[in-house]
Amino acid sequence: MKRSFKQLFVGLLVLTLMVSIFPGKSAQAEENDFLNINAKAAILIEFSTGKIIYQKNVDEALPVASMTKMMTEYLLLEAIEDGKLDWSKEVILSDYAQSVSQKYPELSNVPMRKQEPYTIKELYEAMAIYSANGATIALAEAIAGSETKFVEMMNAKAEEIGLENYNFVNSTGLNNEDLVVGGVPMYPEGTAADAETTLSAKDTARLAHRLLTDYPEILETASIPFKVFREGTPDAIDMPNWNKMLFTEELKVQFEGIDGLKTGSTDAAGFNFTGTAERDGMRVISVVMNTTNDEGVSTEISRFIETKKLMTHAFGSYSVQELFPGEYQIEGESILPVTKGKEDKVEIHTKEPFKTLVKDGNKDNFKPQFEINEKILNEEGELTAPIKEGDSVGVMKVTQEGGQDYGYLFENEGASVELVTKEGVEKANWFVLSMRAVGGFFSDLWSTVAGAIKGLF
Confidence of residue 250 (pLDDT cuts 50, 70, 90): confident
Assess whether 48 and 76 both reside in one domain.
yes
DSSP class per residue in 94-160: PHHHHHHHT-TTTSS-----TT-EEEHHHHHHHHHHH--HHHHHHHHHHHHSSHHHHHHHHHHHHHH
Mean per-residue pLDDT over the chain, rounded:
89
How far is it, in rounded angstroms, from Cα 413 to Cα 363?
20
Q: Examine residue 210 and state whether it is found in any structural domain, yes or no.
A: yes
383-396 pLDDT per residue, tens: 999 999 999 999 99
Report how far residue 175's alpha carbon sits from residue 192's, in angstroms, rounded to the nearest whole number.
Answer: 10
Host domain of residue 115: 39-316
155 and 233 assigned to the same domain = yes
- 23 pLDDT band, cuts 50/70/90, is very low
Q: Tens of pLDDT along 274-306? A: 999 999 999 999 999 999 998 999 999 999 999
Please confirm, yes or no, whether 69 is among the known catalytic residues: yes
Q: Give the pLDDT of residue 28.
A: 39
Banded pLDDT at 17 (limits 50, 70, 90): very low
Q: List the CATH number of the domain containing 382.
A: 2.60.410.10
Higher-pLDDT residue of 341, 206: 206
Give the pLDDT confidence score for residue 251 in this predicted structure: 81
Q: How many residues does the chain have?
A: 457
pLDDT on residue 436: 53
Domain boundary among 287, 316, 345: 316
Task: Tell me, yes or no, whether 445 lies in a domain.
Answer: no
* Higher pLDDT pick, 437 / 317: 317
Residues 245 and 346 in one domain: no
The reported pLDDT for the residue numbered 429 is 78
The per-residue pLDDT for 22 is: 38
Both 331 and 307 in one domain: the answer is: no
**Which H helix or E strand runs over 227?**
strand 226-229
Catalytic-role residue among 69, 202, 244, 340 = 69
Counting the structural domains of the chain, the total is 2
**Rounded mean pLDDT, 338-359:** 94
Res 30 pLDDT > 50: no
Active-site entry in 40, 51, 56, 66: 66
pLDDT at 439: 52
Question: What per-residue confidence (pLDDT) applies to 378?
Answer: 94
CATH at 300: 3.40.710.10
**Selected catalytic residue, list 94, 99, 101, 131:** 131
Residue 29 — pLDDT band, cuts 50, 70, 90?
very low
Q: Is 283 in the same domain as 415?
A: no
Domain co-membership, 255 together with 326: no
The answer on 363 and 226 residing in a single domain is: no
What's the average model confidence in pLDDT over 117-134?
Answer: 98
Q: Which of 11-15, 247-251, 268-272, 324-328 is least confident? A: 11-15
Please state the pTM of the whole predicted model.
0.85
Position 439 in a domain: no
Question: What pLDDT does residue 403 have?
Answer: 75
pLDDT at 264 over 80: yes
What pLDDT, on the 0 to 100 scale, is given for residue 21?
A: 37
Tell me whether residue 131 is one of the annotated catalytic residues: yes
Q: Which of 316, 337, 364 is where one domain is finished?
A: 316
Q: Assess if residue 14 is contained within a domain.
A: no
Average confidence (pLDDT) over 44-51: 96
Helix (H) or strand (E) holding 418: strand 416-421
Q: Are 47 and 212 contacting, i.e. CB atoms less than 8 angstroms apart?
A: yes
Q: Is residue 436 packed enough to be buried (19+ CB in 10 Å), middle (13-18) or exposed (0-12)?
A: middle
The answer for residues whose C-beta is within 8 angstroms of residue 211's C-beta and 6 or more apart is 70, 73, 74, 77, 218, 261
Give the pLDDT mean for 220-236: 96
Q: 227 and 90 in one domain?
A: yes
Q: What is the pLDDT of residue 405?
A: 84
- pLDDT reading at 343 higher than 60: yes
What is the average pLDDT across 184-211?
Answer: 97
Tell me whether residue 262 is annotated as binding: yes
Residue 245 C-alpha from the chain's centroid:
22
Say whether 213 sits in a helix, a strand or coil.
helix
The mean per-residue pLDDT over the stretch 205-215 comes to 98
Position 438 in a domain: no
DSSP state of 384: E
Of the three residues 284, 316, 348, the one that is the final residue of a domain is 316
- The predicted model gives 178-196 an average pLDDT of 95
Residue 85 predicted with pLDDT over 70: yes
66 in catalytic set: yes
User: Cα separation of 420 and 393, whole Å?
Assistant: 5
Across residues 331-337, what is the average pLDDT?
95
Mean pLDDT, to the nearest integer, of 344-368?
94
